[in-house]
């Protein structure tokens, strides 16, 4: 009986410790990656502004070719919504909306996830001319987690996981645009 009580007390203490650590842990994160593409800035921007083109380079969009996709509004313009519903667990269900466009420079996005986890993230893709035929593309995401779920930011390497996916997507974009 003493062993069982000791085990229960250890488990309770560990849970309490995690909850206390979560109180003082960060609640938000930002992940960003960039790549240089050998194309003029306007050419790159004109391609990435259309969300439907993400089917050709976005790792997450390409993860399930059988996902049900719906579109609302005019692609390439603020208010356009791309929704997906997939049976693949890591793809899940959600939608991405173009929240704003700074012509030739930046696209602001809001991602609303339904499954496998509910949440909202904000992203943007920006273009910067490095030379007449070279463009830096920067893609970033930011989000937050409420207490006590923010403990996941300590336990999971979101920077590494999301960063790797962004790098793959940007490499795919580079391949598509430099053909």
Distance CA 109, CA 96 (A): 7
| pLDDT tens profile 137-151 | 999 999 888 878 777
Structure confidence at residue 106 (pLDDT): 97
Structure confidence at residue 2 (pLDDT): 86
Residue 5 has pLDDT above 80, yes or no: yes
Min mean pLDDT across 16-20, 89-93, 124-128 is at 16-20
Structure confidence at residue 17 (pLDDT): 79
Structure confidence at residue 150 (pLDDT): 72
Report the predicted TM-score, pTM, of the whole model to 2 decimal places. Answer: 0.85
- Average pLDDT over every residue of 33-57: 97
| pLDDT tens profile 102-111 | 999 999 999 9
- Neighbour tally for 49: CB within 10 Å: 20
End-to-end CA, the chain: 70
Phi, psi dihedrals of residue 154, rounded to the nearest 5°: -85, -35
Structure confidence at residue 134 (pLDDT): 97
Structure confidence at residue 94 (pLDDT): 96
Closest CA to 173 of 38, 64, 75: 38
Mean pLDDT of the chain: 91
- Average pLDDT over every residue of 10-17: 85
* Cα angle 179, 74, 106; round to 5: 60
């Amino acid at each position: 009986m003493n062993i069982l009580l000791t085990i229960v007390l250890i488990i309770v203490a560990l849970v309490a410790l995690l909850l206390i650590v979560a109180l003082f842990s960060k609640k938000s994160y930002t992940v960003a990656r960039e790549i240089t593409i050998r194309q003029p800035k306007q050419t790159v921007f004109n391609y990435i502004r259309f969300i439907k083109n993400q089917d050709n380079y976005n790792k997450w969009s390409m993860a399930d070719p059988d996902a049900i996709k719906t579109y609302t509004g005019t692609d390439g313009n603020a208010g356009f919504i791309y929704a997906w519903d997939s049976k693949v667990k890591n793809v899940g269900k959600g939608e991405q909306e173009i929240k704003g466009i700074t012509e030739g420079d930046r696209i602001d996005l809001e991602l609303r996830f339904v499954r496998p986890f509910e949440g909202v993230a904000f992203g943007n893709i920006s273009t910067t001319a490095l030379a007449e035929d070279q463009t830096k593309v920067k893609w970033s995401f930011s989000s937050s987690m409420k207490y006590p779920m923010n403990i996941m930011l300590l336990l999971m390497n979101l920077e590494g996981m999301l960063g790797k996916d962004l790098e793959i997507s940007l490499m795919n974009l580079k391949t598509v645009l430099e053909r």
